[in-house]
């Protein structure tokens, strides 16, 4: 049993879907589960629909229309005959989405978000499954929400491993080619939940774990895991082999090529993860397993742009100790801030955060009641694993360093 994951970039248009089929032909698809994300930037486009819905803007209809048009263009390119049942199927899914928006009474942004955003994956998998069946790549479309059960922490739901494992073990049919949605799950009331942005890699790992798969492959627009994001660094080099632990560190610090939650379930069962190019599927790519720490052993660079550095100090003469630190963390948790780095001294506390859910102003307002607050927006956080002097000076050149932290294997630098 093997699990494949195809992300949005790999299926951004009809060519991408055809290429997915060609990858399956080239590398084989026996006993394979294919986990698929929404096409291209559909998730971002649906996020805009949700925002317009809540802001009650006049752009709601046109933003929804953009998503419909985009998928229609893919359908027309993939299916010659406009009487093909897939056109009806996709139009029904959009009808269902509109029906939800028209009848929804919930004011809960996160709940509504999950109910709407899930259509991206439901639609992409319906299209791909039909297309593959049409070219004799016979497969079963499965609704992932019948397998992955979660709590109702919408937009970042936690997997109920016990229920999920039971459902997959008893209901999943292994011997056929299965196509399913990444990123989605469902709660105990069967409402759609999501596992966090970019969560389809994690879906692949959940299935691999529950099915005791012997490998997972995520197909990317890069040759594998590189020692830096090629969008920001020239001459990024392919990493041939990485240990689970090293990959967990890289993903945790923000190497966005793998979702950070993906690796631990695989490590637990020692299931190797391959990251390969969907353009050159025969190339070896990167293998993540238990054997080698990092091959080649070179500095690895990770950058997170648009972060926020908050420096707190006390309004009176008190020290920043357990009591206030626990209060600070409660607030960070309350406003769903993703904490990147912390640094404290006797009278100050610095924290670099990712303001994913746009709660910064609320957080600052709350903090200002208790602390003196200094905030730098739009800073960059650089992390270098296995650093050396040359790597550090390369990062620091022409930048103002606002915070720096070194451990034996890792240096983190916040710059403006």
User: Which residues of this protein are in contact with ligand ADP, per CB under 6 A?
Assistant: 7-10, 37, 198, 220-222, 225-226, 228-231, 255-257
Q: Which two tokens stand for residue 114?
A: 């999950």
Single out the segment in contact with ligand ASP by CB under 6 A; choices: 35-43, 218-226, 384-392, 406-414.
Answer: 35-43
Subset of residues 112 to 151 that bind ligand ASP, contact rule: CB under 6 A: 120
Distance CA 101, CA 116 (A): 8
Single out the segment in contact with ligand ASP by CB under 6 A; choices: 140-148, 198-206, 352-360, 377-385.
Answer: 198-206
Distance CA 201, CA 218 (A): 7
CB of 116 to Mg ion, least distance (A): 18
CB of 105 to ligand ADP, least distance (A): 33
Distance CA 119, CA 63 (A): 14
CB of 94 to ligand ASP, least distance (A): 17
255 vs 266 by CB, closer to ligand ADP: 255
* From ligand ADP, ligand ASP, Mg ion, none, interface partner of 248 (C-beta below 5 to 8 A by class): none
Q: Kindly state whether residue 7 participates in binding Mg ion, applying the rule CB under 5 A.
A: yes
Distance CA 337, CA 333 (A): 6
* From ligand ASP, Mg ion, ligand ADP, none, interface partner of 371 (C-beta below 5 to 8 A by class): none
Distance CA 323, CA 338 (A): 21
**Number of other CB atoms surrounding residue 15 within 10 Å:** 12
Q: Kindly state whether residue 120 participates in binding Mg ion, applying the rule CB under 5 A.
A: no
DSSP-based three-state secondary structure for 393 = helix
DSSP conformation letters of 92-152 = HHHHHHHHHHHH-----HHHHHHHHHTHHHHHHHHHHHHHHHHTT---EEE-GGGT-BB-S
Site string for Mg ion, 173-212 (x = CB under 5 A): -------------------------x--------------
DSSP conformation letters of 194-214 = E--TTTHHHHHHHHHHHHT-S
Distance CA 354, CA 341 (A): 10
Q: Which of 409, 351, 349 is nearest to 379 (CA)?
A: 351
127 vs 384 by CB, closer to ligand ASP: 127
CB of 8 to Mg ion, least distance (A): 5
Q: Which one of residues 183, 209, 244, 301 is an interface residue with ligand ASP (CB under 6 A)?
A: 183
**Interface positions with Mg ion (CB under 5 A):** 7, 198
**Interface positions with ligand ASP (CB under 6 A):** 7-8, 37-38, 43, 120, 182-183, 197-200
């Amino acid at each position: 049993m093997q699990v494949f994951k195809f992300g949005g970039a790999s299926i951004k248009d009809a060519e991408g879907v055809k290429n997915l089929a060609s990858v399956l032909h080239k590398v084989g698809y026996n006993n394979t589960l294919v986990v698929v994300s929404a096409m291209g930037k559909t998730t971002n486009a649906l996020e805009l629909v949700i925002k317009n819905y809540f802001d009650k803007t006049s752009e709601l209809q046109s933003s929804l229309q953009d998503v419909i048009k985009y998928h229609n263009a893919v359908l027309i390119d993939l299916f010659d005959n406009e009487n093909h049942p897939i056109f009806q199927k996709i139009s029904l899914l959009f009808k269902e989405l509109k029906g939800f928006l028209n009848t929804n009474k919930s004011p809960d942004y996160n709940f509504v978000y999950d109910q709407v955003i899930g259509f991206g994956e439901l639609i992409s998998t319906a299209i791909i499954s039909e297309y593959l069946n049409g070219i004799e790549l016979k497969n079963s479309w499965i609704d992932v929400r019948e397998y992955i059960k979660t709590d109702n922490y919408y937009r970042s739901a936690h997997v109920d491993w016990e229920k999920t494992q039971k459902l997959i073990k008893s209901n999943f049919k292994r011997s056929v080619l299965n196509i399913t949605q990444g990123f989605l799950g469902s709660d105990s009331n069967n409402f759609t939940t999501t596992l966090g942005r970019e969560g389809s890699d994690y879906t692949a790992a959940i299935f691999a774990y529950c099915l005791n798969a012997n490998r997972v492959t995520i197909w990317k627009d890069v040759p594998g895991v590189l020692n830096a994001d090629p969008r920001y660094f020239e001459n990024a080099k392919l990493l041939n082999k990485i240990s689970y632990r090293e990959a967990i560190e890289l993903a945790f610090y923000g190497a966005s090529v793998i979702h950070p939650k993906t690796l631990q379930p695989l490590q637990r069962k020692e299931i190797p993860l391959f990251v390969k190019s969907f353009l050159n599927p025969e190339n070896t790519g990167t293998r993540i397993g238990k054997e080698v720490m990092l091959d080649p052993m070179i500095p690895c660079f990770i950058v997170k742009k648009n972060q926020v550095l908050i420096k707190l100090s006390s309004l009176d003469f008190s020290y920043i100790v357990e009591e206030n630190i626990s209060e600070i963390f409660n607030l960070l948790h309350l406003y769903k801030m993703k904490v990147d780095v912390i640094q404290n001294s006797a009278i100050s506390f610095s924290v670099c955060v990712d303001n994913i859910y746009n709660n910064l102003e609320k957080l600052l307002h709350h903090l200002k009641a208790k602390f003196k607050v200094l905030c730098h927006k739009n800073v960059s956080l650089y992390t270098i694993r296995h650093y050396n002097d040359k790597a550090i000076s390369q990062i620091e050149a022409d930048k103002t360093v606002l915070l720096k932290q070194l451990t034996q294997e890792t240096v983190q630098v916040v710059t403006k």
